[in-house]
């Protein structure tokens, strides 16, 4: 290639890059202009037009939603502005105003841990079991954010412990995200701690997958089935994969079957990291028979059943024995 040809090639290449850069700048300018236009409509109170612009130009379909269709009530609830919220309600705004994703102001209040706002909305007639297009309820939102106070509030006002969509299970959400206080609230209200989701397994299983020690402890103390996981995979399999010896030991103390096999015919020791701490713990447990005390405790707790475990402190037994039965 001669010098002239090389010069022309470099010029053509520069033109290509300049064209790409110009298109990028134009697209950026259009997006900024549309954002400003949407904001103008929101300020003027025309949120439907703002939502239409977002849906048409940003590709936000009916199933995706947009920030532009959120009402002033949603904003007040999500930010915890109680006075503004009450003013809007007094002006006639519906407590059940929904976005195109079917998110209600109560969802936002629970997600933001704004108890006073949630209470005001409930008193104004908010649907306590409102469900988004993803099956999310206010109770699920409260558990997702770790708001035990909001969870307690909505349950006191008739919230269902389990919605129709198993994907959006409050007890699974609390267990997988480590919201132990919310989990305790759900347990106190009688949630099914062995609720089996085809996609997630049991709450104990998802807690083991995500290594949520305190949630695992609460579930086991409440009487969760230590053998029940996801299909043939047990919570012990999940814990062994995560290489967490503390969780594995706790599961074994509550009677986890060390010889349980999953769909691949693998035992927990087979899925653990070779020569790792969990592998050594499981091998030691295999070689060491359970003590008579341990077997008796498991037998007594099994005879009592989950519903009566909470009555153990009321038994006329020495405190030492009651503590032993409660794994304290």
- 188 & 131 share domain: no
- CATH classification at residue 320: 1.10.750.20
- 127 & 193 share domain: no
Is 15 within the bounds of a domain?
no
Quote the crossing angle between the two packed helices 213-221 and 245-253, to the nearest 10°. Answer: 0
- 135 & 185 share domain: no
Is 220 within the bounds of a domain?
yes
- 214 & 299 share domain: no
Q: Return the half-sphere exposure (C-beta side, CA atoms, 13 A cut-off) of residue 121.
A: 35
Quick check: 99 and 75 in contact, CB under 8 A? no
- CATH classification at residue 176: 1.25.40.20
> Per mean pLDDT, which range of 6-20, 172-186, 297-311 is the poorest?
6-20
pLDDT above 60 for 155: yes
> Per mean pLDDT, which range of 25-29, 240-244, 252-256 is the poorest?
25-29
Measured distance CA(59)–CA(125) in Å, rounded:
33
pLDDT above 60 for 163: yes
- 207 & 315 share domain: no
Is 63 within the bounds of a domain?
no
> Per mean pLDDT, which range of 181-190, 239-248, 261-270, 286-295 is the poorest?
286-295
* Mean pLDDT on 305-309: 85
Q: Which of 125, 126, 86 is nearest to 103 (CA)?
A: 126
Is 50 within the bounds of a domain?
no
Task: Output the pLDDT for position 134.
Answer: 85
Range of the domain at 252: 169-288
- 223 & 149 share domain: no
Measured distance CA(226)–CA(247) in Å, rounded:
12
pLDDT, tens only, 83-120: 999 999 999 999 999 988 889 999 999 999 999 999 99
- 122 & 227 share domain: no
Q: What is the mean pLDDT of the chain?
A: 85
Task: Output the pLDDT for position 245.
Answer: 94
- 284 & 297 share domain: no
pLDDT above 70 for 193: yes
- 194 & 261 share domain: yes
pLDDT, tens only, 273-304: 999 999 999 999 988 888 888 888 889 888 88
Name the band, by pLDDT with cuts 50, 70 and 90, for residue 67: very low
* Predicted structure pTM score: 0.76
- 127 & 143 share domain: yes
Task: Give me the number of domains the chain comprises.
Answer: 3
Is 246 within the bounds of a domain?
yes
Name the band, by pLDDT with cuts 50, 70 and 90, for residue 33: confident
> Per mean pLDDT, which range of 159-163, 191-195, 198-202, 205-209 is the poorest?
159-163
Is 201 within the bounds of a domain?
yes
Measured distance CA(208)–CA(230) in Å, rounded:
11
Q: Which residues contact 101 (CB under 8 A, 6 or more apart)?
A: 63, 64, 65, 132, 133, 134
pLDDT above 90 for 82: yes
- 211 & 262 share domain: yes
Task: Output the pLDDT for position 167.
Answer: 62
Is 59 within the bounds of a domain?
no
Rg (CA), the chain: 28
3-state DSSP assignment of residue 188: helix
Task: Output the pLDDT for position 58.
Answer: 46
pLDDT above 60 for 1: no
Is 7 within the bounds of a domain?
no
- 244 & 323 share domain: no
């Amino acid at each position: 290639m001669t010098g002239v040809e090389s010069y022309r090639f470099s010029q053509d290449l520069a033109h290509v890059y300049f064209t790409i850069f110009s298109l990028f700048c134009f697209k950026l300018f259009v997006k900024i202009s549309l954002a400003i236009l949407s904001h103008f409509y929101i300020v003027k109170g025309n949120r439907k037009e703002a939502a239409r612009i977002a849906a048409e130009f940003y590709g936000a379909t009916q199933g995706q939603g947009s920030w532009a269709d959120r009402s002033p009530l949603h904003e007040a609830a999500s930010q915890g502005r109680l006075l503004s919220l009450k003013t809007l309600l007094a002006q006639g705004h519906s407590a059940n105003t929904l976005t195109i994703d079917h998110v209600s102001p109560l969802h936002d209040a629970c997600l933001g841990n704004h108890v006073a706002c949630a209470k005001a909305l409930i008193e104004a007639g908010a649907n306590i079991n409102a469900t988004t297009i993803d099956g999310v309820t206010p109770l699920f939102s409260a558990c997702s954010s770790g708001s035990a106070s909001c969870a307690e509030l909505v349950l006191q006002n008739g919230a269902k412990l389990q919605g129709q969509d198993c994907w959006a299970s409050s007890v699974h959400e609390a267990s997988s995200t480590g919201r132990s206080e919310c989990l305790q609230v759900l347990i106190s209200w009688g949630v099914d701690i062995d609720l089996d989701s085809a996609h997630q397994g049991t709450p104990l299983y998802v807690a083991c997958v995500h290594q949520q020690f305190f949630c695992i402890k609460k579930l086991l103390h409440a009487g969760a089935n230590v053998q029940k996981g996801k299909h043939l995979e047990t919570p012990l399999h999940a814990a062994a994969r995560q290489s967490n010896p503390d969780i594995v030991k706790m599961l074994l103390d509550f009677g986890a079957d060390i010889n349980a096999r999953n769909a691949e015919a693998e035992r927990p020791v087979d899925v653990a990291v070779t020569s790792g701490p969990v592998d050594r713990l499981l091998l030691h447990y295999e070689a060491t028979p359970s003590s008579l005390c341990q077997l008796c405790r498991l037998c007594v707790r099994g005879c009592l059943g989950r519903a009566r475990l909470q009555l153990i402190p009321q038994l006329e037994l020495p405190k030492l024995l009651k503590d032993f039965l409660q794994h304290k």
